[in-house]
Amino acid sequence: MSHPYTPGAALAAMRPTRAYRCQVCGATFTAQDLRAKYCSERCKQAAKYRRTKKIKATPATPPSSGE
Ligand SMILES: [Zn+2]
């Protein structure tokens, strides 16, 4: 009376695995997530950190610095 497979596993098997390229390190990886952009959680965090850093790195500097 025990089921050999779980519904979750069957669903996961139905999902197609696609090849992606990490937007951080450029590594090729496969994922089932259609919105996958990064090969690992590490790169995901790196991208997020980079983005916030970029925003913070653009302060309201005056266009004319007198140079
Ligand atoms: Zn990566």
Asked whether residue 10 is assigned to any structural domain, the reply reads no
Tokens representing 10?
């069957």
Which long-range contacts (C-beta less than 8 Å, at least 24 apart) are formed by 23-27?
A: 23/47, 24/50
Distance between Cα 27 and ligand 1 center (Å)? 5
Distance between Cα 7 and ligand 1 center (Å)? 31
Res 1: pLDDT: 61
Provide the residue range defining the domain that includes 39: 15-56
Res 61: pLDDT: 67
Q: Which of 28, 54, 56, 22 is nearest to 41 (CA)?
A: 22
Distance between Cα 47 and ligand 1 center (Å)? 9
Asked whether the predicted pLDDT for residue 37 surpasses 60, the reply is: yes
- Cβ–Cβ under 8 Å, residues 50 and 40: no
Phi, psi angles (nearest 5°) of residue 25: -105, -5
Asked whether residue 32 is assigned to any structural domain, the reply reads yes
Average pLDDT in the chain: 82
Asked whether residue 2 is assigned to any structural domain, the reply reads no
Asked whether residue 19 is assigned to any structural domain, the reply reads yes
Tokens representing 18?
């696609």
Res 11: pLDDT: 73
Asked whether residue 39 is assigned to any structural domain, the reply reads yes
Distance between Cα 31 and ligand 1 center (Å)? 13
Asked whether residue 22 is assigned to any structural domain, the reply reads yes
pTM higher than the cut 0.75: no
Asked whether residue 30 is assigned to any structural domain, the reply reads yes
